[in-house]
Structure 1
Amino acid sequence: MALVGGAVRDALLGVTPLDLDVVVDGVQVEELAHASGWPFVYHPAFQNATLHLPDGRFADLVRARRESYPVPGQNPVPEPGTLADDLRRRDFTVNALALRLGPEPELLDVAGGQRDLDRRFLRPLHRHSFHEDASRLVRGARIAARLDLQATPELLEQVPDALHMAPQTPRLWAELKLLLQEARPYLAALKLREWGAGELLPDLGVLAALDELPDVNPQTYAAGLLATAPDTAALAQRLSLGDKPAALLSRALSDTFYPPGTPERQLRSILNPHSYVPLTGKDVLALGVPAGRQVGEALTYLAELRRAGRVNSQLDEQLALRDYVKNAPD
């Protein structure tokens, strides 16, 4: 049994691993998952199990295997293998590291990953890596941005091949969705652009602006990305974003009031920096509109003026409301 991949990489960097990958050999993974006593999901196609750990993280129990790609871009074909085989099937040298668990733990490095990690380099495991699986390009950008790693010439040489294979690689779009869930998606997207793969994402201006704001959630980043897309619906479908980011974008572009700090206001401040906070029901009451249904009618009137472009500030609304109150029938 060995701890492998990103968990070992992050531990060597002094970073708490997000999740854990454990490779086992000669053990039935499903039985081991049952024995742990933790909730898990079993994946029979690859004989893997994902455990839900008490601290909220996940641990993948992986049966040691080798893989081949009869059709580049599609799912690999797994076969039973050794721990060394399992490491050699991975994407980057820094992920081909393992810590064999036991009384005397042993670090296994089959591809010079520790050397690359010390030099802060991100290097594909072999020259056909991105041709086999173009999603590795996006995964590499996520890792490089998160850990401040630099692309090697070997990686940059494979970028055109990854872009060529992208339409045949469904997993690439899943990786782009995961990019939006990074703590700072803009940095990962910027890596893609620096590596010559900026065409995978629309204009990065909104992501860059959101990166300057505190407490931005993944849905807001997704909505911001949609705002720059020529075809919002097509991009949302391709990235399997669901309906929430598009709905958030619609609310942000509306004239409805949202409190400071909300995702709607965060997006609105970027997409429409000259917008203002419209009058609220409390403001309308203070300006002399009687309580009751007349407040709603006054707010509807102001909303119609905003949509028509006849008011452009709170002062405009206040003046319009005074005229509205003055001319309202008794």
Structure 2
Amino acid sequence: MTAGIDLDDAIERLRLGRVGAVLGEAGGWIVGGVARALVAGAEPDADVDIAVDRELGPLLDRLGARARRHDRFGTAVVPLGDGRHADIARTRTEAYPRPGALPDVAPAPIEDDLGRRDFSVNAIAVAIASPHAVLDPFGGAADLAAGRLRVLHRGSFRDDPTRAIRAARYCARLGLAPDRTTRRLLEAAELGLVSADRRDAELRRLAGERAAAEGFALLDEWGVMPLPEGGGELPAAVGQTRLDPLWSGHVEPAVRAMLIAAGASPGLDRALELAAARPASPSRAVRLASGVDPAVLLVARAAGGSWVDRYLREWRDVALEISGDDLLAAGIPRGPAIGAGLAGALDRKLDGEIDAGRSAELAAALEIAADVG
């Protein structure tokens, strides 16, 4: 699959700098998504995964980089510049003491490291050093070209059920479909065997994908994680809504909104209540939406609550020019009348019942506060 691909040029464009020089000299390999992109002639991710069959400590000392070391796992994160980084790991094997447990790891050659991976399309390595040998012992490049996701081991989903979530992520992102054996094994995956933290971390990665809705639909189709009853279309609606310029800047809420829509995070019932609401006035809309998690609001909008857009665009930031001090100066005693006066004046301002300006706001607030008093 690398025929016609200039790996020298492709790896040069990764701008690995001194990290590439040191790790290339040490026999390092580019692995993961960047290796997959290189053999496919696709645009790689900005961040790079590198595997090397050496102790990392001396290599990191040579780099003199501000590396974040994780000695327990034999890994490190090294900055590449421009906000990019390299995830560096010592090549290793893994053994799972029981289903769903974290693996025991031991150093091993690159061939064994590739053999421990989840899918053939992730078991590809490209040498950093020229002439950039390609290791593809499981036919991952051919599977990628055929649009096929193939698990490497029959016990893969038993050892780590979160691989089923990764399967959905890769299928959705790369346009793959599991082969017959992989599909059968996926349908037997049990997410309940892993900790909630590990499961949720993988679900968040899926929720952050551009094709997240398709991924959650696959989990539902495979029976790994059914979507909420009657809500099968909601993740796709959230995916569409979060592309709107009004929402596109809210990256973190957008991820959580996808999790809520897929039933993987609390908040769906509240979102559907808001979607069904038909606030009779701007002030009523503000009372409904104020203090609500933006992720829940996004789901509500995706579920049909069109009023949420107007809340965000027009009403959310409306504020009074007066404060409680103005009411105190006008003779209103401290107490609930102050809050009631301000809240009532804001309602009238939102609903267009008073003219703009401090004097109109103060008159309304005093009238309401007097009634409370």
Q: TM-score, normalised by structure 2?
A: 0.65
How far apart, in 1, do the equivalents of 2:317 and 2:253 lie?
29
* Cα distance change on mapping 1:265 and 1:155 into 2, 3 Å: same
> Could you tell me whether the CA contact under 8 Å between 2:286 and 2:316 is conserved in 1?
no
How far apart, in 1, do the equivalents of 2:144 and 2:287 lie?
44
- CA displacement at 1:137 relative to structure 2: 0.8
Match of 1:169 among 194, 208, 211: 194
* AA aligned opposite 1:87: L
Match of 1:232 among 263, 266, 284: 266
* Cα distance change on mapping 1:90 and 1:226 into 2, 3 Å: same
How far apart, in 1, do the equivalents of 2:260 and 2:98 lie?
31
- CA displacement at 1:76 relative to structure 2: 0.9
Match of 1:30 among 44, 50, 57: 57
| Structure 1 match to 2:239 | 211
Q: Say whether residues 1:16 and 2:44 are aligned partners.
A: yes
Q: How does 1:70-85 map to 2 (within 5 A)?
A: 70-85=97-112
How far apart, in 1, do the equivalents of 2:103 and 2:134 lie?
27
2:135 counterpart SS class: strand
* AA aligned opposite 1:208: A
2:213 counterpart SS class: helix
How far apart, in 2, do the equivalents of 1:56 and 1:149 lie?
30
Q: How does 1:203-282 map to 2 (within 5 A)?
A: 203=231, 205-213=233-241, 214=243, 215=248, 216-223=250-257, 225-226=259-260, 229=263, 232=266, 254-256=288-290, 266-270=298-302, 272-274=305-307, 277=311
- CA displacement at 1:228 relative to structure 2: 6.9
* Cα distance change on mapping 1:42 and 1:303 into 2, 3 Å: same
Structure 1 gap ranges (5+):
234-250, 286-291, 306-313
* Cα distance change on mapping 1:218 and 1:148 into 2, 3 Å: farther
* Cα distance change on mapping 1:168 and 1:33 into 2, 3 Å: same
* AA aligned opposite 1:73: G
Match of 1:300 among 308, 323, 343: 343
* Cα distance change on mapping 1:130 and 1:254 into 2, 3 Å: same
Q: Say whether residues 1:101 and 2:128 are aligned partners.
A: yes
How far apart, in 2, do the equivalents of 1:231 and 1:136 lie?
19
* AA aligned opposite 1:232: P
Match of 1:190 among 217, 229, 233: 217
- CA displacement at 1:154 relative to structure 2: 1.9
* Cα distance change on mapping 1:253 and 1:264 into 2, 3 Å: farther
Q: Say whether residues 1:141 and 2:141 are aligned partners.
A: no
2:189 counterpart SS class: helix
| Structure 1 match to 2:29 | 2
The superposition leaves residues 243-267 of structure 1 with CA deviations (integer Å, 9 ceiling, x where unpaired) of xxxxxxxx99833399xxx868645
- Kindly name which structure, 1 or 2, has the bigger radius of gyration based on alpha carbons: 2
* AA aligned opposite 1:226: I
| Structure 2 match to 1:238 | none
| Structure 2 match to 1:61 | 88
> Could you tell me whether the CA contact under 8 Å between 1:189 and 1:201 is conserved in 2?
no
How far apart, in 2, do the equivalents of 1:130 and 1:281 lie?
49
How far apart, in 2, do the equivalents of 1:143 and 1:75 lie?
22
How far apart, in 2, do the equivalents of 1:208 and 1:50 lie?
34
Q: TM-score, normalised by structure 1?
A: 0.73
* AA aligned opposite 1:95: N
- CA displacement at 1:196 relative to structure 2: 2.8
Cα root mean square deviation, aligned: 3.9
- CA displacement at 1:174 relative to structure 2: 1.7
| Structure 1 match to 2:270 | none
- CA displacement at 1:4 relative to structure 2: 1.6
1:199 counterpart SS class: coil
* Cα distance change on mapping 1:319 and 1:74 into 2, 3 Å: same
The superposition leaves residues 293-312 of structure 1 with CA deviations (integer Å, 9 ceiling, x where unpaired) of 5997566137889xxxxxxx
* Cα distance change on mapping 1:130 and 1:252 into 2, 3 Å: farther
Structure 2 gap ranges (5+):
1-27, 268-284, 331-337
